[in-house]
Chain A
């Protein structure tokens, strides 16, 4: 009993000092935060899946007014999709710089990512207003409601991502986001890339396949 008891103490203390913190004590070797983010993203799949399903079901249903697919400006949307796609590149470069400890470069890439995201949102605002001008308001018909809800939800997710990126930049500028916290940047990056892959789906399923 005696030798196991000492063993207990060492491990117990190691664990006690690490409660809820750091990766050394977790069973998987990965931090709670990162695992939690992945679980959350798994959950988000069901949310966007449902929104896409609702749109697919209702895409041709209009008692009055134009359908979304009649108003699409594919060249414009292609450009804004490309902008969002490239923001994933700048995001991953930000993570990479942070891991290597080049905090200035990481900040630059984070700002770039946020700006690309903001460009995408600006494009969405422009798209929505031009649709409304062409006679397709939120409640004009079922297809319109489903379209705005789906793309609007995605837009809200991008906006939340931009706010997180801005917060990261502020933290980094005030010296609170060092190389050792690269994982925080990576976790925000995971969210950002997820929002991007959702748009990859929306761009094809909603815009291109008609």
Chain B
């Protein structure tokens, strides 16, 4: 298990920590302008998604929509939920649940021959 473990390094390492916790420290380096940029990108992708409702993209529609959905999803969890600069442990915890859900439920849908 590759959990970030302060104890591995040295006993007593916990004593020498800065006042600000590491996660809060990381967040304070991101400017509000960065968040606004991300939000603009999200808004543009959403507009593109809605556009597929009006413009016929043929067989590309579903892959395009899925790709845009994943892009939005990743942007939010990486930037707004700070996974980009936060502990990898959080990313692993969340991705474990997400991956478990995706794999298990795709298997269920396959059993019902959903994709046919």
Contact = CB atoms under 8 A, between A and B. Distances in A.
Q: Do A and B bind each other?
A: yes
A193 B77 contact: yes
A43 interface: yes
B52 A96 contact: no
A209 B60 CA distance: 11
A127 interface: no
Interface string A146-184: 000000000000000000000000000000000000110
Contact of B109 (A31, A39, A56, A86): A56
Given A25-B14, A100-B28, A183 B6 contact: no
Q: Could you say which of A35, A203, A208 has the most chain B C-beta atoms within 10 Å of its C-beta?
A: A208
Contacts of B72: 85, 197, 200
A85 B46 contact: yes
Interface residues of B, number: 60
Interface stretch (A46-54, A116-124, A136-144): A46-54
The DSSP consensus for interface residues of chain A is: helix
A123 B35 CA distance: 26
Nearest to B98: A45
Given A24-B17, A29-B21, A38 B112 contact: no
Contacts of A39: 93
Contacts of B90: 30, 34-35, 38
Nearest to B42: A85
A49 B80 contact: no
Interface of A: 7, 11, 14, 23-25, 27-31, 34-35, 38-39, 41-46, 48-50, 52-53, 56-57, 74-75, 78, 81-82, 85-86, 88-89, 91-93, 95-96, 99-100, 182-183, 186, 189-190, 193-194, 196-197, 200-201, 203-205, 208-209
